[in-house]
Structure 1
Amino acid sequence: MGVAAVRATERGGRLYGRGTADDKAGIATHVAAFWAHGGRPPVGVTVFVEGEEESGSPSLGRLLAAHRDALAADVIVIADSDNWSTDIPALTVSLRGMADCVVEVATLDHGLHSGLWGGVVPDALTVLVRLLASLHDDDGNVAVAGMHESTAARVDYPAGRVRAESGLLDGVSEIGTGSVPQRLWAKPAITVIGIDTTSVAAASNTLIPRARAKISIRVAPGGDATAHLDAVEAHLRRHAPWGAQVTVTRGEVGQPYAIEASGPVYDAARSAFRQAWGADPIDMGMGGSIPFIAEFAAAFPQATILVTGVEDPGTQAHSVNESLHLGVLERAATAEALLLAKLAAIPTGRAEA
């Protein structure tokens, strides 16, 4: 099913369109929760809409430092995560960090005739392919030394769910070893997300002198994203085939985060979710990254951070036909409205969220 990316389209109880769930729905959830209280929530609320999250939030640290007093709160609610299903809510208690880099390999100062020189002189694309392949072992586990692994939250992950929800083609197997939650939430991941080289349409019988690729790194909770980027760079330089020249250009870095999901605020949240959804929320990890959570935690160490969300396994965020389940939106907004009321009953220093 194809729908316009920039025009919201409702079909079958879902609202389709780019950003309907990730992350316009998070803003809508907050607004709806305020409306439920007639626009006057029972606790003081500061609404902060951050528009750079998908590009690494480069301005956030400076902004938090400049407006620390205005943004200080006892509870920070970030509605940018997932739910276990359309019927079962979740509280996200861990997130992987992220880093990225571009690796370029060079073998020649100009292109060469592949018939005259092939088999004697290495071309950059073959070097790059071999180098990228060295990042994983035969099982698909990350093969870079110095990468951190943590322990995933204990959940019952149904057999077949990965294939059903990811769109794996027939005959294609999963990669890595360990349980699905362990691989998704608590182990590092390395993905090649782009390659620059001669296109198939423009290809000729020429040995390519240079080629490059962009690499995305996911960092398990408890690891350091900068150290992981260091490890990947060292691996790339160490494993370059045939003495090829390697240049690594470092990109974004966002730290992972693990949440201590206990105390009166989490008790209130679980109670609110139970009332709104009719089901207990699941504590789950998230394989993706929300780097600014670590920045908020560093800026406001006294605050309790709640990571909620309006997505579900069918959302397909960042993909074609992204959609929002409207029933999930209603339940998420109801849960947040109930949470605000419950927070008002908790003695706090500032009584703000």
Structure 2
Amino acid sequence: MTANPIAETIASLMPGARAELTELVAFQSVADPAVFPKSECEGAANWVADALRTEGFQDVALLDTPDGTQSVYGFLPGPVGAPTVLLYAHYDVQPPLDESAWLSPPFELTERDGRWYGRGAADCKGGFIMHLLALRALKATEGIPVSVKVIAEGSEEQGTGGLERYAEAHPDLLTADAVVIGDTGNFRVGLPTVTATLRGMTMLRVQLDTLEGNLHSGQFGGAAPDALAAMIRLLDSLRAEDGSTTVDGLPADAVWDGLQYAEDEFRQDARVIDGVALIGTGTVADRIWARPAVTVIGIDCPPVVGATPSVQASARAQISLRVPPGADADEATKLLTAHLRAHTPWGARISVEQIGQGQPFRADTGSPAYTAMAEAMRVAYPGEEMQASGMGGSIPLCNTLASLYPEAEILLIGLSEPDARIHAVNESVSPEELERLSVAEAHFLVNYARSKKA
């Protein structure tokens, strides 16, 4: 087999990469001061900035974005006339959820069964380490053939749009010929995959009020309008009998014509309990990549322990709506808001607050950058061809970059394959995937530079 200096170098760097990811995961960088202190995000941002300075990046800066968080920027100049590639990751993470359900502490990187466990290991602190590994391997071998910009976002998981608004106000900052978003993942471990589409999203908080205060359920129950019962009825209106999302006026019948997701594989990846049916109609790919999906991600109601026999005066819920490619998130927000108002039962007083939004995204997979990435994936994954899949999640920055820089080629790769269990307890990253995707990214930068010279 022909020696591959880049792959050999990255293999030698993996122990150091694990140590660095351990340090980065230790920051409890949830971009919500109500959950963890803001100092945790500040610590992670400074760690990222120091890492860029160590690699020789210039103009390293912590950017104060309009949502009160910080994004980290750095620039590494390449050869004269070389193209510029922007590398993206985010250092903020989801809350750990039920810490008692973690098999190891969520903010301590722990190796188990060949994987590294910890919040943010895959989504997306590992993505930042991937960028570092690729650049270090090139520096140690043939040199970095492009100019590189790095942007590490501090509030991607919150969907509050700080970096998008900052980029719009400073349109020259992130200009690039190509963008590598390191925040998606392979269809499964060992199958190199680029993400062709992203669903957008809108996030609403809904409150229902029916009484001036809680009432004794024995004395008033049966006639007094229960706000929690009203909320349950309202939320139920967002689903058909088969579980499909039903928002008045929002189409939900699109089909996905690319890579398919076998139902038995999806059940295994999603850890669906035996005997429980999947929801919706159409193929699995239709449902998760091409159609809207509503999720009640939080609801304020009395806990079972300590509950009193009361009719509830108020109830509040947080609703996420994933918006498929081809739809407009602004219009979807209007339709969802109108649906909620129209389906509120018993004349309950309703208030709706929008707290986040992002447009869906579709990449041009026929661009030269994708050809360069396909060639790189063949090197990193011998015997495999690069696949293109959709992703049900959202990365709002993609549309901002596409709007600001319409000539830029945007690619989406990353470490969040199904076994990573991002956003759930026991999130993990495959070190083999981290190694292979770092090799792929390094070769992509070489291939892309050559393609721009041709």
1:32 to 133, 144, 147: 133
Instruction: Note closer, same or farther for the CA distance 1:153–1:10 as it changes in structure 2 (3 Å cut).
Output: farther
Aligned mates of 1:302, 1:322 — CA distance in 2:
36
Distance 1:172 1:328 in 2: 31
Correspondence 1:343 to 2:448: yes
Distance 2:242 2:360 in 1: 25
The Cα of 1:109 is off from its aligned counterpart by 1.5
**Displacement of 1:92:** 0.2
SS in 2 for 1:347: helix
**Contact 2:126–2:434 (CA<8 Å) still a contact in 1?**
yes
- Deviation, 1:66, is 4.5
Which letter does structure 1 place at the counterpart of 2:430?
Answer: H
CA distances 1:102-160 after superposition (whole Å, capped 9, x unpaired): 11111111222222222222211111111110111101111112224444242232231
**Residues 303 and 237 (structure 1), Cα distance of their counterparts in 2 relative to 1, 3 Å cut:** same
Cα distance between partner residues in 2 of 1:193 and 1:156: 27
2:344 aligns to what?
240
CA contact (8 A) 1:148 1:219 kept: no
SS in 1 for 2:168: helix
Unmatched 5+ residue regions in structure 1? none
Pairing partner for 1:43 from 128, 131, 146: 146
Contact 1:153-1:284 within 8 A present in 2 as well: no
Change (3 A) 1:159 1:112: closer
Structure having the higher helix fraction is: 2
For the residues of structure 2 that align with 1:59 and 1:224, how far apart are their CA atoms? 20
Is 1:119 equivalent to 2:222 in the alignment? yes
% identical equivalent positions: 42
> Greater CA deviation, 150-159 or 46-55?
150-159
Q: In the alignment, residue 79 of structure 1 is paired with which amino acid?
A: G
Structure 1 pair 347–217 and aligned structure 2 pair: CA distance change class (3 A): same
Normalising to structure 2: TM-score of the pair? 0.74
Alignment of 1:214-293 (within 5 A): 214-278=318-382, 279-293=384-398
Query: 1:94 aligned to 2:197?
Result: yes
Greater CA deviation, 231-240 or 34-43? 34-43
* CA–CA distance in structure 1, aligned partners of residues 385 and 194 of structure 2: 10
The worse-fitting range, judged by mean Cα deviation, of 178-187 and 230-239 is 230-239
Q: Please, which moves more after superposition, 7-16 or 211-220? A: 7-16
Q: Which of the residues 192, 212, 215 maps onto 2:316?
A: 212
Q: CA deviation at 1:337?
A: 0.8
Query: Contact 2:329 / 2:358 at 8 angstroms: preserved in 1?
Result: yes
**Is the 1:102–1:248 Cα contact (8 Å) retained in structure 2?**
yes
Q: Counterpart of 2:414 in 1: which secondary structure?
A: strand
- For the aligned residue pairs, the C-alpha RMSD in angstroms reads 1.6
Partner of 1:306: 411
Shift of 1:261: 0.7
Long gaps (5+) in structure 2:
1-101
- Residue 109 of structure 1 corresponds to 212
2-side partners of 1:50 and 1:207: how far apart? 44
CA displacement at 1:32 relative to structure 2: 0.9
Q: Give the direction of change, closer, same or farther, for the CA distance of 1:282–1:217 in structure 2 (3 Å limit).
A: same
> Per the alignment, do residues 250 and 284 of structure 1 end up closer, same or farther by CA in structure 2, a change over 3 Å counting?
same
CA change 1:200–1:159 in 2 (3 A) is: closer
Please tell me whether residue 3 in structure 1 is matched to residue 104 in structure 2. yes
The C-alpha deviation readout for 1:174-195, integer Å capped at 9, x for no partner, is: 1000100010001000011111
**2:164 and 2:396 in contact (8 A); partners too:** no
Contact map agreement 1:105 1:246 (CA 8 A) in 2:
yes
Specify the alignment match of 1:21 in structure 2.
Answer: 122
Return closer, same or farther for 1:249/1:259 CA change in 2, 3 Å cut-off.
same
Question: Distance in 1 between the 2:160 and 2:343 partners?
Answer: 32
Deviations 1:211-244 (A, max 9, x none): 1111111000111112111111111111111211
User: Could you tell me which residue of structure 1 aligns to residue 287 of structure 2?
Assistant: 183
Deviation at 1:95, TM superposition (A): 0.3
Cross-structure match for 2:159: 56
- On the 8 A contact 1:108/1:210 being kept in 2, the answer is yes
Residue-pair matches, total? 349
